Every structure is written in C-alpha cells, then in structure tokens.
Structure 1
Amino acid sequence: MNVAVFDIGGTFVKHALINQDGEIIEKGKLPTPKVEAQTNLLAEIQQMVSQYQLRGTIAAIGISSCGIIKNGQVLLSANIPGYTGFTIEKQLSERLSLPVYVENDVRCAGLGEMWKGSAVGKENFVLLTLGTGIGGAVVIDGKLIKGNNGFAGELGHMIIEQEGRLCGCGAAGCYEQYASTSALLRDYQKESLDGKAISGEEYMLRLSQNDPIAITCYQRFIDYIVSGLVTIAHFINPESIIIGGGIIENGDRLINDIRKTFENKVMTIYQSTTSIEAAVLKNDASIMGAAFLAFKSENMIE
C-alpha cells in the first residue's frame, strides 16, 4: 500500500509516492502558487493524487508544510501569500475522500530521520535545520513534542545574546540571528572587503581556500551553534542532536568541528550521552516524514 505525500514550501511543492518500506516510487515538484494559494494548491494536489492513483490504491495523504500548523490548519505562514488560515486537512480530505495528515515541515523532517535516517532506533533526539533561520523538532519517547498550543520546538528563537540582533519574530538576540546559514553569510558580507553577498557554496569554497575573513566568521559561527547545542543537551539530554540544512551537506568539516567544540563546552557527563550527527535524508527528509505520519496514523506501520 502507498501514500501520496506533499511538501509545501515557499518556492516549490515537492510530491512523492512512497510505500510502507519507505521506498520512493516516484517524485517530482511543482511551483508553489503565488496567487489564490489555497484554491490553486488544492487543485495541484488533487491533480497529482489522481495521477498517483493510476499507479495503484492510495491509502492516505501526508502533508509537510511550512508555517505554524495546528490540527490540520495553517495558523501562520510568512512564505506564501494567502496561505495563513488554510484548513488544508479538512478541505483536502473532503475533496479526495481520503484521510489527510498535516504537520510542520521541520517536524516532518524529524519524523523522516527517525524512520529512515540518522535517528533510526532513537526515541529521544532533536533535529535542527540550519538555513534562512533555524528550524527545530523535538522527539521524546518516540513522539513529537508539540507543547500546550502546538508551538513547541521553535529552537531558533532561544535568546542567546541579551540586547542582540533584532529577529523577525520581534525579539532580539535569537539563536537563528547568529547560528543560521543566513547569519553566517551576512557576517561574512559585512566583514569582507567588497561587501558583496555570496552563496553558501561560495562561502565554503573561500573557507577551503583559507580566506582569513571566512575563517574568522566560521570559528564564531561554530561557537554560536554549539552554545545552542549545549543548552539543548543540558535541558533535554537527547540521545542525539541531528543537524540538517544545505551547509551541512558540504563535506564533513562543519559537523566534525561542531562535534569537537561541543565536547569541549558541554558538561563532561553529557559527552557520552548526547551525540552530534548530520542529517542524511537531505531534501527527502520532509516527504519521508509526511509518509511516516500518514502510515503511522493509519496504523500501517509500527
């Protein structure tokens, strides 16, 4: 039996057909609608589900979505105009006459890593994704921690610098203002001689070429990342903290340096109880997690 899954982001809607063994039978992506998002997303997803049904029976639909998600509804999204307020689970299930399960994209990535990635066999772990901001998912005893109103896991908004940089959330000194990939690139741009913006790939190239400014920014970046990891380890004591995001995929240097610095800064007793791992599912993490959510909710997998 298969499920159809969709990962709704600000630029693309990734889609896939996945079986109970976690094998991706087919996948692709479509541009995210820029106007009348709710209506057009419903149409896009319905059309793709119809195509996947030609391959066989679809047991359920799994949705990974940007934004704050609660009870199948998009409570807030800054990335897609007109997306906030979308009762996506209800409307899709009515249209498709299929069970639909919706969760935040980073939480889905955490579930994906638990099912088929770096967290296989682990019941207590934290996933951090480094990108424009920092996303977080916390899994305790094999279950996502959602909190009182479903807002738990916003680790990018831990305050690490009093009276620090202003964050888009309205606070100052948030973790993601110092330890996200975009923060690293902003720091480099500010300190570089030409003041030009560069990509993460270009930055890592300059780092490998021993650009002194890149090295200075990198060392500070590592320290900021680890300050958050130490707080997480001391507070939650997970088996693993798994780090994802495009910058992690540029070889082993970053994850190895994070590990070394973490071991130097964390309390000694935690060195052997919390490991630092790189996420392995990369761009498929969220769709795998959406599939896991659907299969698990339908009692089709353990």
Structure 2
Amino acid sequence: MKKEQLYLAYDIGGTNIKYGVLTQDGKILDKGKVETELNGEAIIDCLVAIKEKYSHFYQLKGAAVSLPGFINVDTGYMQTGGAIDDFYGINFKEIMTKKLSMPVEIENDVNCVALAEKWLGNATKSENFLCITLGTGVGGAIYFNGQLIRGHRYMAGEFGYMLTRDFFANQDLPATMSFTASVKEGLRHQYILRKGEVMLEEVSGNDIYTFAKAGDVIAKDVIESFYEHIAIGLYNLIFILNPEKIIIGGAISERHEIFEKIIDKIQTIINHDKAINNTQTSDYVKIEPTKFNNDSGLIGAVYHFITMSNSKQF
C-alpha cells in the first residue's frame, strides 16, 4: 500500500499567517494561525518554528506556500510582496528551501484560491472562472480555457489595481479597487475618515456592519459605497472576460448578504445601459463564495506543489 504523502502549507497574509498539514488529497490534518510579524526576517523565523514543531509529529514531503505579490513560480522570485515590504525583490523559494531543508513551491495567494476551487471546490466543473478576494487589499485570479492564467510578468488577475473611479478628476482621491473595495481601505478606513472619532485598529469590518444595523448613518453609507465599488470592478470583469463564475473570498464573504447586494448594484449598472438593460446579471455570470473560505490558500498551495512536482518528473 502506497504511503500517504503529507505537506506543510503556509498562507501568508498581511494580517495573519495560516498554516497546516495536508494530505495529497487536500485533507487538512491540523492547522493554526498566528499574527504576521512586522518584518520579513521575523516572518521567516516564524515559518521555520512552525516546521520544526510539525516535524516531530509528521514526515513532511515539502512546503507549499501561498503569499501575495507578483511571483515567478518557476524561479521563486518575488517582484512584489503585497503588504509585506521585505518580500519585494527577493527569491523567496530559494530562501525557504534552505531555511526549511525541504522542497518548497510558492504561488500567489489568490491563484491558490482559484486552484483550490478548481481542484476540490465550487469550480470543479468550470473551465472559465475568476476568483477575487476582499481583505487587506483586493486580489484576483483568472482560470480560463482549463488553465490558470499568470501573464507574461506573473501579474495577471491583479484586480486590485483596476480603477473604479476617475483618477484624473481628483488625483488625491484613491481610485483603485484595492483602496475603494477592500475591507481595510474601502470599508474600515473610509468609516474612520468620516467618523473622525476612532482609530483604524479600533474598528473591524464586522463592527461597521454592527454599527449600521444599530442605525449608524455613516456606517450605512460606507457599506453602500463599498458595494458600489465592488460592483464596478466586477461589472468590468464580466464584460471583459465573460467568466462563467466569479468566486469571492476573504473573511467578508462569510456575510452571505453581500452577494445579493453586489448583484443588485451590478444590475443597477446594467439597467442604465440601453444595449443590455433588458437583461439580468444572472444572464452573464454566477457570483458565489469560495467553498473553503480561510482554508482555500492552504489547499490551493498544496495542489500547486503537487502539480509542480509532477511536471518536474517529465
């Protein structure tokens, strides 16, 4: 009987590092979460400590890493590292292979979400779909014609850089999707700017929804604007790429009411276009949450590791 292969997986974000041990079938045997350290060296030390802990209990085949940024999956070089400044312009794969003393494969975080959905999630029967995550920033992934699209500089799917308002009309006003439609900037930061009484670290996205439910007019307005900017971004993607599905991830996606609200906002845009105003959003695309939510990055990273390992055998 063939021995089960086990993989150590990390999902590194600007706020938290999620980690776990997974089987080759994507089953999570153990998992945990720690806050992301402020500098790159401390983050790497944390990853090493996690590996050393698990090595006492599991025989690990390798480490699969999901992290933000423009990542060359073949060389392991990171042109950018999202919110982690120390991960810009480094060969993360090379560094971690030495630090962990085991094979390492790395992939962009939202690409990992897409791979998880295609492998075991809500896109197993879809050949053309998008993933978008709403969190500290906005990330994206494109899976089309049966394959993940990375682009010639490994930048494909960076929806957070898409403009959702006129940049040239007011260059002092944030215009990209990462600033207008992320939980941190488009929701939390906008609320404190208008409220003027609290600090960013004192207010979570969930707090703002609670405030709105209690009648806070500013919270209600900020949430509506948040939905509008998400809808603008998704509307553009629907008509540029014509996906079968758009799968939304990030902790905010656990609030299932957001899907109806976003679809309503997209429908409002459609209703104002004479060429298509007799159609429905559902005529073009299905919008739904990820199947695995916060575990998607771990599962997708392991799938990527297995795929890369198999390709090197030929």
Residues 70, 153 of structure 2: 8 Å contact kept: no
Q: Which residue of 2 aligns with 1:2?
A: 6
Q: Which residue of 2 aligns with 1:272?
A: 283
Q: Which residue of 2 aligns with 1:292?
A: 303
Residues 131, 142 of structure 2: 8 Å contact kept: yes
Letter in 2 for 1:200: G
Aligned with 2:31: secondary structure?
strand
Q: CA deviation at 1:141?
A: 2.4
2:54 to 52, 55, 59: 52
Q: What is the CA RMSD across the aligned residues, in angstroms?
A: 2.8
Is residue 68 from structure 1 mapped to residue 65 from structure 2 by the alignment? no
Residues 34, 81 of structure 1: 8 Å contact kept: no
Residues 241, 277 of structure 1: 8 Å contact kept: yes
Q: Deviations over 1:60-99 (max 9, x none)?
A: 3211123322231222235335333332222333565643
Q: 1:23 and 1:179, CA in 2 relative to 1: closer, same or farther beyond 3 A?
A: same
2:236 to 231, 234, 251: 231
The alignment-based identity, stated in percent, is 30
Aligned with 2:114: secondary structure?
helix
Residues 234, 270 of structure 1: 8 Å contact kept: no
Q: 1:219 and 1:269, CA in 2 relative to 1: closer, same or farther beyond 3 A?
A: closer
Q: Which residue of 2 aligns with 1:189?
A: 192
Residues 18, 291 of structure 1: 8 Å contact kept: yes
Aligned with 1:229: secondary structure?
helix
In the alignment, the residues of structure 1 paired with residue 55 and residue 161 of structure 2 have an alpha-carbon distance, to the nearest angstrom, of 41
Q: CA deviation at 1:173?
A: 2.0
Q: Which runs of 5+ in 2 are unaligned?
A: 271-275
Q: CA deviation at 1:284?
A: 1.3
In the alignment, the residues of structure 2 paired with residue 107 and residue 155 of structure 1 have an alpha-carbon distance, to the nearest angstrom, of 12
Q: Which residue of 1 aligns with 2:127?
A: 123
Letter in 2 for 1:62: A
In the alignment, the residues of structure 1 paired with residue 63 and residue 45 of structure 2 have an alpha-carbon distance, to the nearest angstrom, of 14
Q: CA deviation at 1:32?
A: 4.2
Q: CA deviation at 1:46?
A: 4.4
Residues 3, 295 of structure 1: 8 Å contact kept: no
Q: 1:166 and 1:122, CA in 2 relative to 1: closer, same or farther beyond 3 A?
A: farther
Q: Which runs of 5+ in 1 are unaligned?
A: none
Question: TM-score normalized by structure 2?
Answer: 0.81
Residues 164, 174 of structure 1: 8 Å contact kept: no
Q: Which residue of 1 aligns with 2:253?
A: 248
1:89 to 81, 88, 93: 93
Q: Which residue of 2 aligns with 1:77?
A: 81
Aligned with 1:183: secondary structure?
helix
1:200 to 202, 205, 214: 205
Q: CA deviation at 1:7?
A: 1.8
Q: Which residue of 1 aligns with 2:155?
A: 151
Q: Which residue of 1 aligns with 2:22?
A: 18
Aligned length: 293
Aligned with 2:89: secondary structure?
coil
Residues 7, 22 of structure 2: 8 Å contact kept: yes
Q: CA deviation at 1:44?
A: 4.4
Q: Deviations over 1:112-157 (max 9, x none)?
A: 2322333332221111111232111111123221111111111111
Q: Which residue of 1 aligns with 2:219?
A: 214
In the alignment, the residues of structure 2 paired with residue 295 and residue 107 of structure 1 have an alpha-carbon distance, to the nearest angstrom, of 15
Aligned with 1:69: secondary structure?
coil
In the alignment, the residues of structure 2 paired with residue 48 and residue 184 of structure 1 have an alpha-carbon distance, to the nearest angstrom, of 33
Question: TM-score normalized by structure 1?
Answer: 0.84
In the alignment, the residues of structure 2 paired with residue 172 and residue 213 of structure 1 have an alpha-carbon distance, to the nearest angstrom, of 19
